[in-house]
Amino acid sequence: MADRIAEDKINEIRQAVDIVEVISDYVQLKKQGRNYFGLCPFHGESTPSFSVSPDKQIFHCFGCGAGGNAFSFLMELEGISFQEAAIKLAAKGNIVLEINLNNQQKEKKVPKELQAMKDAHELLRKFYHHLLVNTKEGQHALEYLYGRGFSQESIDKFQIGYSLASWDFVVKFLSKRSFSPEWMEKAGLIIRRERDGTYFDRFRDRIMFPIFDRNGNTIAFSGRSLGGDDPKYLNSPETAIFNKSKILYNYHQAKASIKKFQYAVLFEGFADVIAADRAGIENGIATMGTSLTDEHIALLRQSVQSIVICYDSDNAGIEAAYRAGRHLQDAGFEIKVAVMPDGQDPDEYIKNNGPDKFRHEVIEASLTWMGFKFLYFRRGKNLQNEGDKLSYIEEIIKEISKLPLAVERDHYLRQLAAEFSLSLEALKEQQKQFYFAEKRNAKVQGEQQQKPVIVVKPAKELKPAYYTAERYMIAHMLKDRDLAYKVQELLAGNMFNIDEHQAIITYLIEFYEDHLEPDSAAFLTYIQDDNLRRIVANIEMQSVTDELTGQELSDCIKQVLNYKKLLKIKEKEEEQKEAERQKDYLSAAVIASEIIQLRKSL
């Protein structure tokens, strides 16, 4: 069992940290009024619906419903236990927390096979790196890297290693340490021969680049051949611990620099990241041989809102940069594109021109997203040809029409007019036509998308009076201890109609037995149910009056109790109909009298 953290220590941690600072490590927040808003890290969105209240020390997303305090934020985002979240927050708040972290880590319910996969990768990463930098067997590989411009600092920072030119060294190495061959095969480290069922090493005589997850755990490898062996790069297959669509290379090391510089540089591959790091670009990341995914974007959202795309300048690289840019733009990111000259990739450019030129003339000279589109749409066109020129101008004007700011539209129209010696007025008129046509199309599409839900939506959003009354009372009970007891007294043994609401006030009354003052963040820690935490956070974010008047309270209690009476009336009406069907008119008359009395009490 993990060490239990005393409640007074939890309170000390909670009071020592500010939820805005905690969440700002993962989400870009902007202050609006009393609260802070940003893009939700728990679901994809382009318009901020994620709110953080510094006054109440809670967060809530109006889009997906996520909500809670600093503890539950870390627990949900990083998939960690309460104790682990407390340890992280205690460190942030400079609170001494005497808890055995090793015991806590052992308690984590990670299947032993998956843990074995991770342990084996960690062990091999250290061993491969040792072979490269400390042994005669790895000397030729080390010299090869030095010849390619790698420094010892880069080799150590990225934990680059070397795999022996052996068919079964890793098989024996892991077997001696009690790692199951079947699971090491599933981990992608060894391969099973079909003819006799024996195993051999996947990586042999290769430079080994470890792949890390967001927390710095080794989960895969990419091995580069030293000679002419194919393939040039041999990568780990996707496994239970390695999914390319979720991994951004170097993210675990680049996070601090990304936050410092307020932007990330997105490369196509890890070799470019390492080369750029040697040139002083420490906020570089890369996808693992796959297009940018929603999972990648969700991860990026936690650290940054501005991205510089730096892909190869060949046709495939430009197309990939355009796809990535559109995906990032749809997700609400600010985008620039660093254009590589002469068909070079970043590694080649740095070798040929040096790190300073790469920083100043490539990264710092990045084009705006619209500026990149000027280059993108002219590819394959002969602008001396009238047809190609008019086609290009039309495409660019359409793109300019999509820009939200009039100043931007004017700037790029002037640029286009100057390049082709065209009338600015004519271009503006053409741009307006495209702009209003786009508006009409968007309106029609919006109406078409809304038609199927026009009838359903109001019914879904319209809540019964008792539901609203219960939430309104809970919102005030969370702010007023005496009111909580008063509501309990007025209910006179009756319960709220919504089970979750009743559970919340039951927790709240228990909470107030030990706490003399309301404390939203502390109450969210007190509640053990994730769903109830979300509901409480949602209620806390409601805009309510400072005080609940006696008349308002009376009306709310009446709505709660009346619903029970209405249910009782319906039940009695069914009994009356059944008595009449049975021709028991005396019983039917008695029931009718009871119904009348119930209706009078409403």
* pLDDT, tens only, 590-599: 878 777 776 7
Mean pLDDT of 7-23: 90
Answer with the residue of higher pLDDT: 80 or 560: 560
Q: What is the pLDDT of residue 249?
A: 97
Tokens of 468: 């609203």
> Is CATH 1.10.860.10 the classification given to domain 465-562?
yes
Q: Band the pLDDT of 542: cuts 50, 70, 90.
A: confident
Class (C level, CATH) for 251-376: alpha beta
Mean pLDDT of 301-313: 88
Compute the C-alpha angle 318/319/320, nearest 5°.
Answer: 90
Q: What is the pLDDT of residue 121?
A: 97
Mean pLDDT of 444-463: 46
DSSP string, 195-241: TT--EEES--SEEEEEEE-TTS-EEEEEEEESSSPSSSEEEPPP-SS
Across 1-15, 85-99, 456-470, which has the greatest mean pLDDT? 85-99
Q: Is the pLDDT of residue 288 over 60?
A: yes
Percentage, residues of the chain above pLDDT 90 = 51
Q: How far, in Å, CA of 304 to CA of 215, rounded?
A: 17
Strand order in the sheet with 264-267: 248-249, 284-287, 264-267, 306-310, 334-337, 367-368
Least confident of 95-104, 180-189, 193-202: 95-104
Beta-bridge mates of residue 163: 206
Percentage, residues of the chain above pLDDT 70 = 93
Q: What is the pLDDT of residue 424?
A: 93
Mean pLDDT of 182-204: 94
CA distances (Å), 277 to each of 156, 210, 265, 267, in order?
13, 16, 11, 12
- Residue pair 193/200 in contact (Cβ under 8 Å)? The answer is yes
Q: What is the pLDDT of residue 459?
A: 36
Mean pLDDT of 88-113: 70
Mean pLDDT of 323-329: 94
State how beta strands 35-38 and 50-53 pair: antiparallel
Q: What is the pLDDT of residue 391?
A: 94
SS3 174: helix
Least confident of 81-85, 132-136, 172-176: 81-85
DSSP string, 80-144: --HHHHHHHHHHHTT------HHHHHHHS---HHHHHHHHHHHHHHHHHHHHHHH-STTHHHHHH
In the chain, CATH 1.10.860.10 covers: 465-562
Mean pLDDT of 411-440: 90
Mean pLDDT of 305-326: 92
Q: What is the pLDDT of residue 108?
A: 46
Mean pLDDT of 269-280: 94
Q: What is the pLDDT of residue 448?
A: 53
SS3 57: coil
Residue 529's φ and ψ, nearest 5 degrees, are: -95, 125
User: What average pLDDT does the chain have?
Assistant: 87
CATH superfamily of 112-235: DNA primase, catalytic core, N-terminal domain (3.90.980.10)
Mean pLDDT of 555-578: 83
Helix axes of 499-514 and 465-477: crossing angle, nearest 10 degrees:
10
Burial of 490 (0-12, 13-18, 19+ CB in 10 A): middle
In the chain, CATH 3.40.1360.10 covers: 251-376
One-letter amino acid identity for 532?
Answer: L
In the chain, CATH 3.90.580.10 covers: 7-93
Mean pLDDT of 483-508: 89
Q: How far, in Å, CA of 359 to CA of 2, rounded?
A: 48
- Residue pair 211/160 in contact (Cβ under 8 Å)? The answer is no
Q: How far, in Å, CA of 177 to CA of 149, rounded?
A: 36
Cα 448 to the chain's mean position, in Å? 30
Q: What is the pLDDT of residue 239?
A: 94
Q: Is the pLDDT of residue 302 over 50?
A: yes
CB atoms under 10 Å from CB of 298, counted, come to: 18
391 Cβ neighbours under 8 A, 6+ residues apart: 381
**Of the candidates 273, 247, 214, 307, the residue with the CA atom closest to the CA atom of residue 28:** 307
Q: What is the pLDDT of residue 443?
A: 65
Q: What is the pLDDT of residue 18?
A: 94
Q: Is the pLDDT of residue 439 over 80?
A: no
Q: How far, in Å, CA of 384 to CA of 378, rounded?
A: 12
Q: Band the pLDDT of 210: cuts 50, 70, 90.
A: very high
Q: Is the pLDDT of residue 99 over 80?
A: no
**pTM for the whole structure:** 0.65
Q: What is the pLDDT of residue 207?
A: 97
Tokens of 289: 């041989």
Tokens of 529: 């149910």
Mean pLDDT of 144-156: 93
State how beta strands 284-287 and 264-267 pair: parallel
Q: What is the pLDDT of residue 100?
A: 58
Q: Tell which CATH classification among 3.30.360.10, 3.40.50.300, 3.20.20.450, 3.90.580.10 matches the domain 7-93.
A: 3.90.580.10
Mean pLDDT of 335-352: 89
Q: Band the pLDDT of 405: cuts 50, 70, 90.
A: confident
Answer with the residue of higher pLDDT: 182 or 462: 182
